Amino acid sequence: MTALIADNLTLVFTAGVSLRTWRDTGLLSREWALYRELLPHYGSITLLTYGGADDPAILAGLLSPDEAAKVRVICNDQHLAPGAYSRSIASRVAASLKASRSVVVKTNQMAGGDTAISIANALREVNHTVGFIARGGYLWTRFVAYEHGPQSAEALSAAAKERFLCQAADAVVGTTSDMVEDLAWRYGLDPQRCVVVPNYVLIDTPVRSPEEREPATLLYAGQLSNRKRVDILIRAAAALRDEARVQARLEVIGDGPERAALESLAAQLSAPVTFRSRVAHEELLERMGRCTIYLQASELEGHPKTVLEAMGSGATVLVAKSPGLGEVVTHGMNGLRVDTDPAAFSAAINELLPDPEWRAVLGHAAARTIRQQFGLPSVMDLELEVHRRALAHGSRRGALKASA
In the chain, the domains with their CATH numbers are 6-200+375-403 (3.40.50.2000), 210-374 (3.40.50.2000)
Instruction: Report pLDDT digits (tens) over 192-248.
Output: 999 999 999 998 888 999 999 999 999 999 999 999 999 999 999 999 998 888 899
Give the side-chain half-sphere CA count within 13 A for 223. Answer: 12
> Residue 263 pLDDT more than 70?
yes
The helix-helix angle for 281-290 and 305-312 (nearest 10°) equals 50
- Mean pLDDT over 155-162 rounds to 96
CA distances to 54, 198, 265, 342, 353 from 380, in Å:
29, 10, 43, 39, 37
Instruction: Report pLDDT digits (tens) over 302-327.
Output: 899 999 999 999 999 999 998 888 87
5 neighbors 41 (Cβ within 8 angstroms): yes
Q: Which residues, at least 6 apart from 397, have a Cβ–Cβ distance to it below 8 Å?
A: 170
193 neighbors 167 (Cβ within 8 angstroms): no
The closest of 13, 297, 295, 304 to 179, measured between CA atoms, is 304
- Mean pLDDT over 69-84 rounds to 97
DSSP letter for 97, please. T
Give the per-residue pLDDT at 203.
Answer: 86
Instruction: Report pLDDT digits (tens) over 333-390.
Output: 999 999 999 999 999 999 999 999 999 999 999 999 999 999 999 999 999 999 999 9
Give the per-residue pLDDT at 327.
Answer: 79
Determine how many CB atoms are found less than 10 A away from the CB of residue 113. Answer: 26
> Residue 278 pLDDT more than 80?
yes
